[in-house]
Structure 1
Amino acid sequence: MFKVAVIGASGLLGRALVAELAQQTGWQVVATTFSRPVPNALTLDIRDARAVEQFVEREAPDALVIAAAERRPDVCEHDPALARALNVDAVRTLAAAANRRGAWTLSISTDYVFDGAHPPYRDDSAPSPLNAYGRSKLEGERALLDTTDLGCVLRLPLLYGPIVGWAESAVTSLVPAIAASASASADGKPAVMDAWAIRYPTFTPDIAFVIRQMLERHARGEAISGIVQWSGDEPMTKYEIAIRLAEALRVDARLTPQHRPTDATPRPHNCHLASDRLEALGIGRRTPFDTAIRQVLAAFPWRGDKAA
């Protein structure tokens, strides 16, 4: 029996990963959550070092995937202590506990460790984060790699996938504004969408497939270490994403492009992640954006009461 602990199983990526791993014969998945209860998951506050140590000792996983994090740049900017607690200290605690058990640890990181000025970025490119979120995730990468030799960092860009609310992904969070812009009401206004930052939306079921392939290598005694990256291959601004969302929703949205950055928290222009290392190992899967987003919207159809 190959046992995998998924830390942060209630999140956008965590749910996709649990669903993917649950299909594997001979694998056991132990899922943990904190703020959002999930059936058959254990409650674990990863900021509680003693609770983390007891969890790892009791469950004795062969591998541990850290999908829990504070991922909201504005929150990280205004509460750096929370960002450090979740994105740095908790990673170190989990990695140390797993290392004592001889378990492989995979920690999820972000393209925001780069400044976005010179893409594409390889796994060995020099990081230069622009905001507190990127800095905390970079520190988390270093915490993992300094704590265990049996560990790996997986950097990912903008995520989208099956949701429990529109705001869960920066992709689907655009839907209420798109729908409002298409409203026939007299006060309906065009939705202003960022047309400056270039993003690479990446489908969470594809990432779950990639992580499963990585776990299979570990199960065979061929664990991947160091830093790897995975990314969708379709560059889009939020304005372009909104156009494609409107097409999928079949609404006549009124959209206005914003060609200069307006976010209070600085964000990088183009952090395209090169996926060469995983591709060279035969690892990877990419679902076309238009196909994947239609799957997401079909499972969570638009209704006015879901705009909140």
Structure 2
Amino acid sequence: MFKVAVIGASGLLGRALVDELAQQAGWRVVATAFSRPGRNTVALDIRDARAVEQFVEREVPDALVIAAAERRPDVCEHNPALARALNVDAVRTLAAAAKRRGAWTLSISTDYVFDGAHPPYRHDSAPAPLNAYGHSKLEGERALAESTDLGCVLRLPLLYGPIVAWAESAVTSLVPAIAASASREGNAAAMDAWAIRYPTFTPDVAFAIRQMLERHARGDAIRGIVQWSGDEPMNKYEIAVRLAEALQLDAQLTPQHTPTDATPRPHNCHLASDRLAALGIGRRTPFDVAIRQVLAAFPWRGEAAA
């Protein structure tokens, strides 16, 4: 029996990962959640070091995947203590507890560890975060490296996938404004056309993580830093256009060609995925195919403009 603990299993990526791993014969998944614990999850506050240690001692996983984080840049900017507690200190506690039990730890990081000025970025490119979120995730990467020699960081860009609310992803969060702009009384919705993003489908990420876990199960664990990314560059305006097409809405959209976010964001943090690709790891579902799967599974009509 190969046991995997998924920390933050109620989130956008965590749910996709649990769904992927649950299909593996001979594997057992222990899922944890904090804000949305469910019937098949263990309630765990990763800021509670003692609770984390007791969880790892009790479950004795072979591998631990940290998908929990404070990922909202504006929240990190205004509450750096919370960002540090979740993105740095908790990673250190989890990785140290896993090391004591000989478990491999995979920690999820972000393309925001880079400033976006000189893409593409390799796994060994020099980080230069622009905001508190990027700084906290970079510190979390270092905390993992300092806490275990049996660990790996997986950097990811903008994620989207099956949702329980529009706001779960910066991709689907655009839908209410798109729908409102298409209504009879609607005004044009302004959409950022400056920052270049690489939307990445969470089931594809879960597939890649499962492949990484399989290598660990065979005694060939990946260590250090790896990256995975979708390969279709687009700004939020272009994402919105494709969402409107998928939803068959005649949306009124206006591109904004200068940054408008209060918290600084990088221009283009394209992550090179060559290290995982060289190992035969990963897959990419075309955006137009994947987003239609997401929208088909979520009852949007009548609610999107609410």
CA-based RMSD: 0.7
1:64–1:106 CA contact under 8 A, matched in 2: yes
CA distance in 2, matches of 1:304, 1:83: 35
* One of 289, 300, 303 as aligned partner of 1:302: 300
Quote the residue 2:113 is aligned against: 113
Deviation digits for residues 197-228 of structure 1, max 9, x if unmatched? 00000000000000000000000000000000
Distance in 2 (CA, whole Å) between partners of 1:199 and 1:117 is 13
Aligned to 1:291: 289
Deviations 1:137-192 (A, max 9, x none): 0000000011100000000000000000000000000000000000012xx10000
Aligned partner of 1:85 in structure 2 is 85
Aligned mates of 1:111, 1:218 — CA distance in 2: 24
Q: How do 1:196-235 and structure 2 match up within 5 A?
A: 196-235=194-233
* Residues 265-286 of structure 1, C-alpha deviations (whole Å, 9 max, x = no match): 0000000000000000000100
For 1:126 and 1:146, locate their aligned partners in 2 and report how far apart those are by CA, in whole Å. Answer: 18
- Which stretch has the larger CA shift, 149-158 or 296-305? 296-305
The TM-score with structure 2 as length reference comes to 0.99
SS at match of 1:95: helix
**Cα deviations by residue, 1:209-256 (Å, 9 ceiling, x for unpaired):** 000000000000000000000000000000000000000000000000
TM-fit CA distance, 1:303: 2.4
Q: Which residue of 1 aligns with 2:237?
A: 239
Question: Does 2:25 match 1:25?
Answer: yes
Whole-angstrom CA distance in 2 between matches of 1:90 and 1:289: 33
Distance 1:22 1:174 in 2: 31
Structure 2 residues not aligned, in runs of 5+: none
Alignment equivalent of 1:253, drawn from 251, 254, 258:
251
Other structure's SS at 2:254 match: strand
Alignment partner of 1:34 is 2:66: no
Structure 2 CA distance for aligned equivalents of residues 167 and 142 of structure 1: 29
Counterpart residue identity of residue 40, structure 1: N
CA distance in 2, matches of 1:306, 1:41: 29
Structure 1 unmatched ranges of 5 or more: none
1:215 maps to a residue whose letter is: L
Residue 53 (structure 2) aligns with = 53
Q: Secondary structure of 1:304's match?
A: coil
Aligned counterpart, 1:64: 64
Question: Following the alignment from structure 1 to structure 2, what is the Cα–Cα distance between the partners of residues 288 and 262?
Answer: 29
Q: 8 Å contact 2:63–2:105 — kept in the other structure?
A: yes
CA contact (8 A) 1:166 1:307 kept: no
| Residues 84-115 of structure 1: per-residue CA shift (max 9 Å, x gap) | 00000000000000000000000000000000
Q: What amino acid maps onto 1:117 in structure 2?
A: A
Equivalences for residues 125-144 of structure 1 within 5 A: 125-144=125-144
Asked whether the 8 Å contact 2:179–2:304 carries over to 1, the reply is no
Paired position in structure 1 for 2:267? 269
Q: What is the DSSP-based 3-state SS (H/G/I as helix, E as strand, rest coil) of the residue aligned with 2:152?
A: strand
Q: Give the distance between the partners of 1:7 and 1:172, measured in 2 at CA.
A: 23
The whole-number CA distance in structure 1 between the counterparts of 2:202 and 2:38 is 18
Is the contact between residue 108 and residue 153 of structure 2 (CA under 8 Å) also seen in structure 1? yes
1:10-42 Cα offsets, whole Å, 9 max, x none, are: 000000000000000000000000001222100
Q: Distance in 1 between matches of 2:136 and 2:18?
A: 25
Letter in 2 for 1:139: E
Query: Which ranges of 4 or more aligned residues in structure 1 deviate by more than 4 Å?
Result: none
Deviation at 1:306, TM superposition (A): 4.8
**Secondary structure at 1:37 match in 2:** coil
Shift in Å, 1:304: 2.7
- Contact 1:165 1:306 (C-alpha < 8 Å) held by counterparts: no
Corresponding letter in the other structure for 2:39: P
1:193 aligns with 2:219: no
- For residue 302 of structure 1, report the CA deviation from its aligned partner: 1.5
Contact 1:33 1:43 in 2 (8 A): yes
Cα drift, residue 258 of structure 1: 0.1
Equivalent residue, structure 1, for 2:153: 153
